[in-house]
Amino acid sequence: MRILFISSSRIGDAVISCGILEQLRRQYPAARFTIACGSPSAGVFARFPRLEKLIVFDKRRFDLHWLVLWRGVAGHVWDLVVDLRGSGVSLLLAAKRRKIMKGGRRPGRRYVQLGQAMGFDPAPLPVAWTAPEDDAKAARLLGEGPVIALGPTANWDGKIWPPERFVALYHVLAARLPGARAAVFGGPGADEARRAAPVLAALPDAINLVGKLSLAEAAACLRRSTIYIGNDSGLMHLAAAAGTPTLGLFGRSKASEYAPAGVKTGIAVAPGPEGEAAMEDLTLEHVAEAAGRLLGGEP
């Protein structure tokens, strides 16, 4: 059996789709999977156990990226095509069955929407796949003892909680976790480094993981962490998928759609209209209380 799975270019949306992919893997244990996505999210699927081929296609002018994808997959008869991007390409392929997610934003949790589109009830939670070498690297980097993982970056400044509050939060949580160390996570590139720099400067003993890990390695490090607190970002979703107690911070994005989905998650939301509230209005006290609940009691 051959399955084509078309997922998002955005890391967060790709991670959210992994619950669907894992459910299909379990439902069809002998199936071979071809996964198509954009280059930013390719690492999300690198360790998928039944991956036969990964097709990376990035946006081009005049929607020519869809032609690139079609050329890469049109030569097969697919037993199932799952298109989470609602593209017309799916309708031009030889396929015995199709599951196409209609485009556009709609209210409600994104992972639930994907589950409903696939006919899964309950909707499967996202997962993160790692390999033994990723887990071994995480063990070397993080060592033993509690790790407070911080995610002070995001894809734009409006979604970022003030860095000095991340620092203060770390000290609040470290006081109740003897021997705890901070690990600062962030993606590659100058913007991510710039956004993480104030936190790293204020916590010189922190484990600096900004731009230094593949997504699978990041998932392995997150899985070893005691708790993750971060802005709404792909790393927040990856932490939740890895099974880490995850607290997502929201103001300029909608928690009702993109709250972290995992076995132990929480949110702290700035006061004001959903998706329009200033992150500066999200207090340290509110976030510390929410983190304390995830850890099992107030800090």
Lowest mean pLDDT across 32-46, 77-91, 201-215, 227-241: 77-91
Confidence category of residue 225, pLDDT binned at 50, 70, 90 = very high
pLDDT for position 26: 97
Distance CA 273, CA 236 (A): 22
Tokens representing 164 are 């000095």
Distance CA 228, CA 243 (A): 10
pLDDT in tens, 111-143: 999 999 999 999 999 999 999 999 999 999 999
Whether 298 has a pLDDT exceeding 90, the answer reads no
Cis status of the peptide bond prior to 162, with omega within 30 of 0: no
CA atoms within 13 A on the CB side of 189: 8
CA atoms within 13 A on the CB side of 16: 24
Residue the block writes with tokens 């893997």: 25
Residue the block writes with tokens 């270019």: 9
What is the CATH class of 132-295?
Answer: alpha beta
For the ranges 72-81, 105-114, 260-269, the one whose mean pLDDT is highest: 260-269
Confidence category of residue 290, pLDDT binned at 50, 70, 90 = very high
Whether 299 has a pLDDT exceeding 60, the answer reads no
Whether 224 has a pLDDT exceeding 80, the answer reads yes
Tokens representing 92 are 């031009």
- Topology match between the domains 2-118 and 132-295: yes
Check if the beta carbon of residue 41 is closer than 8 Å to that of residue 11: yes
Check if the beta carbon of residue 267 is closer than 8 Å to that of residue 246: no
The whole-number average pLDDT for the span 75-83 is 95
How many CB atoms within 10 Å of residue 297?
Answer: 8
Reported in sequence order, the residue ranges of the chain that DSSP labels E, i.e. its strands, are: 2-6, 32-37, 51-56, 77-78, 80-83, 94-95, 98-100, 147-151, 181-186, 207-210, 227-231, 246-250, 265-269
Average pLDDT in the chain: 95
Whether 215 has a pLDDT exceeding 70, the answer reads yes
The whole-number average pLDDT for the span 269-280 is 97
Distance CA 178, CA 158 (A): 33
The angle that helices 163-174 and 190-202 make with each other, rounded to 10 degrees, is 50
CA atoms within 13 A on the CB side of 81: 23
Whether 106 has a pLDDT exceeding 90, the answer reads no
pLDDT for position 150: 99
Confidence category of residue 62, pLDDT binned at 50, 70, 90 = low
DSSP state of 219: H
pLDDT for position 297: 54
2-118 is a CATH 3.40.50.2000 domain = yes
Whether 105 has a pLDDT exceeding 90, the answer reads no
pLDDT for position 64: 80
Question: Residue ranges of the alpha helices (H) in 203-296?
Answer: 215-224, 234-241, 255-258, 284-295
Residue type, 298: E
CA 250 to chain centre: 15
Whether 195 has a pLDDT exceeding 50, the answer reads yes
Q: What are phi and psi of 32, to 5 degrees?
A: -110, 135
User: Burial code of 228-250, b = ≥16 C-beta within 10 A, e = fewer?
Assistant: bbbbbbbbbbbbbbbbbbbbbbb
How many CB atoms within 10 Å of residue 58?
Answer: 12
More confident of the two residues 33 and 101:
33
Task: Delimit the domains of the chain by residue range.
Answer: 2-118, 132-295
pLDDT for position 104: 63
